[in-house]
């Protein structure tokens, strides 16, 4: 599906969806437990993949009519009904069954990495695969870690990419892995390590990128009664622990919030503003978007107690932003930079090339189609808004939800009409994104 977006002012209230990162971890944590209720989950293409994995390991995921909160979910088939405001998870209580079939993680890299470590706990073998994009993403360091623990971790093609085969009933130990490829390796090992006999100590060979995502993991583990901690060389989790909680409430998602805030900073109507609800403080690194917008000169206020952020259209100026810990913000910042005065320099971003697509190259290519002046280096993206003249064009979404949403925001301030291809992929993290834009007054039509 394509969408057509015309230059248009926006104002009003919108609600960010629940956090995808927290939802993944909460569903799997409930799977490691004997069960739990997850309130306010994000039910999207990615999180449905994690639900399917929990069921493949012997658990069960279903809507919980006793749950609280309003529905903020997406469309499509999955392990749970899409109108669920809460999920009832029956877990496999620490030890997964051997799946009856291959686990298809679809396009969800988080699912594949987190549940690969789960499979290494099993007596039998688990096979995991995904779509074309997921089968091109690096999994080698996690497979190597599993083998360091005495388990079996193989890539069927011998290239460190899915399909993967894991097993061996690992019982814990010490592993050494790079920290600059994906923080999800650390998350996977900590979550699985808690239910091993000996626990797992993770030594990082390089600086950890995307560190706030591990902080999210530690926060979720603590909510389920599991202790894990930083060490001088990495992270550690003791074995023999049990996941236990009655209910867990998922907070709002700051990665998704960033697109709504960017829309307000760029296109809020004169005298109006965009207010984003559901923005309570948490361990999410992507809350840094508030600081980025402030540094760019945006008029923005965050009522942390109410969980509301209000932003007005502002004359933005370019800044330098290090996305080492916040890779998912790169598309949003690039779109902001295309409409800001001066130069926006996004640095420390090489790891952003290993997401659903090479997001550095994708944003450079598509913003240039819209008339932006862009320079791309291996670890840097420079957007010269002062030299840009944004005009409508047909742009590719790369089957990547974040590329689609960032380009759609840019379309709000480009002259004429912008057509964004592959708009359906927003279902991965923000199923109601285009409805939210329409609710703010944006001119958005399905093509």
Domain span including residue 283: 3-17+252-446
Give the whole-angstrom CA distance, residue 385 versus residue 401. 24
Same domain, 231 and 264: no
Give the whole-angstrom CA distance, residue 196 versus residue 131. 30
Q: What is the separation, in whole angstroms, between the first and last Cα of the chain?
A: 7
Same domain, 271 and 222: no
CA-CA distances (angstroms) from residue 196 to 183, 213, 224, 243, 444?
Answer: 20, 22, 16, 12, 50
User: Which domain-ending residue is among 217, 249, 281?
Assistant: 249
Going by C-alpha positions, the residue among 392, 445, 394 that lies closest to residue 421 is 394
Quote the tokens at residue 383.
């957007």
* Overall domain count for the chain: 2
Same domain, 345 and 236: no
Contacts of 289 (CB under 8 A, 6+ apart): 254, 257, 258, 261, 262, 326, 329, 332
Same domain, 308 and 370: yes
Give the whole-angstrom CA distance, residue 421 versus residue 447. 9
Has 209 been labeled as part of a binding site? no
Radius of gyration of the chain (CA): 21
Same domain, 7 and 30: no
Same domain, 277 and 208: no
- Render 79-103 in DSSP notation, one character per residue: SS-TT-SEEEEE--TTSPPPPSS-E
Q: By the 8 A CB rule, do 420 and 5 touch? A: yes
Has 210 been labeled as part of a binding site? yes
Same domain, 93 and 236: yes
Give the whole-angstrom CA distance, residue 367 versus residue 354. 19
Same domain, 82 and 204: yes
Same domain, 238 and 260: no
Give the whole-angstrom CA distance, residue 340 versus residue 292. 12
Has 402 been labeled as part of a binding site? yes
| Three-state DSSP class for residue 134 | helix
Has 25 been labeled as part of a binding site? yes
Q: What is the pLDDT along the chain (447 residues), one digit of tens a residue?
A: 999 999 999 999 999 899 999 999 999 999 999 999 999 999 999 999 999 999 999 999 999 987 654 333 333 333 333 446 899 999 999 999 999 999 999 999 999 999 999 999 999 999 999 999 999 999 999 999 999 999 999 999 999 999 999 999 999 999 999 999 999 999 999 999 999 999 999 999 999 999 999 999 999 999 999 999 999 999 999 999 999 999 999 999 999 999 999 999 999 999 999 999 999 999 999 999 999 999 999 999 999 999 999 999 999 999 999 999 999 999 999 999 999 999 999 999 999 998 989 999 999 999 999 999 999 999 999 999 999 999 999 999 999 999 999 999 999 999 999 999 999 999 999 999 999 999 999 999 998
Has 355 been labeled as part of a binding site? yes
Q: The domain spanning residue 97 has which CATH number?
A: 3.65.10.10
Quote the tokens at residue 412.
């709000």
Q: Where are the beta strands (DSSP E) in 108-196?
A: 125-129, 152-155, 164-167, 173-177
Has 6 been labeled as part of a binding site? no
Same domain, 7 and 104: no
User: Which domain-ending residue is among 227, 249, 271?
Assistant: 249
Backbone phi and psi for residue 148, each to the nearest 5 degrees, phi listed first: -60, -30
The model's pTM is 0.84
Same domain, 194 and 171: yes
Catalytic residue among 328, 379, 387, 427: 328
Give the whole-angstrom CA distance, residue 193 versus residue 248. 21
Has 137 been labeled as part of a binding site? yes
Q: By the 8 A CB rule, do 116 and 128 touch? A: yes
Has 135 been labeled as part of a binding site? no
305 catalytic per annotation = no
Has 328 been labeled as part of a binding site? yes
**Strand-pair partners of 236:** 201, 229
Has 174 been labeled as part of a binding site? no
Same domain, 12 and 160: no
User: Which domain-ending residue is among 214, 249, 284?
Assistant: 249
Give the whole-angstrom CA distance, residue 153 versus residue 288. 36
Structural element, H or E, at residue 141:
helix 140-148
CA-CA distances (angstroms) from residue 439 to 11, 168, 307, 376, 442?
Answer: 9, 51, 20, 35, 7
């Amino acid at each position: 599906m394509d969408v057509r977006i015309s230059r248009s002012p926006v104002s009003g209230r919108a609600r960010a969806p629940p956090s995808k990162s927290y939802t993944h971890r909460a569903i799997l944590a409930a799977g490691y437990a004997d069960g739990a209720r997850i309130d306010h989950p994000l039910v999207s293409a990615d999180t449905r993949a994690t639900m399917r994995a929990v069921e493949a390991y012997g658990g069960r995921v279903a809507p919980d009519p006793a749950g609280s909160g309003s529905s903020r979910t997406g469309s499509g088939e999955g392990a749970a009904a899409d109108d669920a405001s809460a999920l009832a998870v029956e877990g496999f209580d620490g030890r997964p069954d051997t799946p009856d079939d291959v686990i298809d993680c679809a396009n969800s890299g988080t699912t594949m990495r987190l549940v690969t470590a789960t499979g290494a706990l099993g007596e039998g073998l688990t096979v995991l695969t995904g779509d074309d994009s997921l089968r091109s993403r690096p999994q080698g360091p996690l497979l190597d870690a599993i083998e360091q623990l005495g388990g079996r971790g193989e890539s069927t093609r011998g290239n460190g990419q899915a399909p993967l085969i894991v097993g061996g009933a690992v019982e814990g130990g010490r592993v050494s892995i790079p920290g600059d490829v994906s923080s999800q390796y650390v998350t996977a090992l900590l979550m699985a390590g808690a239910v091993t006999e000996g626990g797992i100590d993770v030594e990082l060979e390089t600086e950890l990128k995307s560190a706030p995502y591990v902080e999210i993991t530690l926060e979720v583990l603590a909510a389920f009664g599991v202790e894990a901690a930083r060490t001088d060389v990495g992270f550690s989790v003791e074995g023999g622990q049990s996941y236990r909680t009655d209910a867990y409430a998922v907070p709002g998602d700051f990665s998704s919030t960033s697109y709504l805030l960017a829309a307000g900073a760029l296109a809020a109507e004169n005298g109006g503003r965009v207010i984003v609800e559901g923005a309570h403080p948490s361990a999410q690194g992507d809350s840094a978007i508030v600081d980025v917008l402030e540094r760019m000169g945006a008029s923005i206020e965050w009522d942390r107690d109410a969980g509301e952020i209000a932003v007005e259209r502002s004359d933005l100026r370019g800044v330098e932003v290090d996305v080492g810990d916040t890779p998912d913000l790169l598309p949003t910042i690039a779109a902001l930079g295309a409409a800001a005065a001066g130069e926006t320099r996004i640095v420390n971003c090489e790891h952003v090339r290993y997401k659903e697509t090479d997001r550095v190259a994708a944003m450079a290519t598509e913003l240039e189609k819209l008339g932006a002046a862009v320079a791309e280096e291996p670890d840097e993206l420079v957007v010269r808004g002062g030299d840009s003249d944004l005009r409508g064009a047909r742009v590719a979404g790369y089957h990547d939800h974040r590329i689609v949403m960032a380009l759609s925001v840019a379309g709000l301030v480009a002259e004429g009409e912008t057509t964004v291809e592959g708009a359906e992929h927003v279902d991965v993290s923000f199923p109601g994104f285009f409805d939210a834009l329409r609710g703010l007054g944006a001119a958005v039509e399905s093509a």
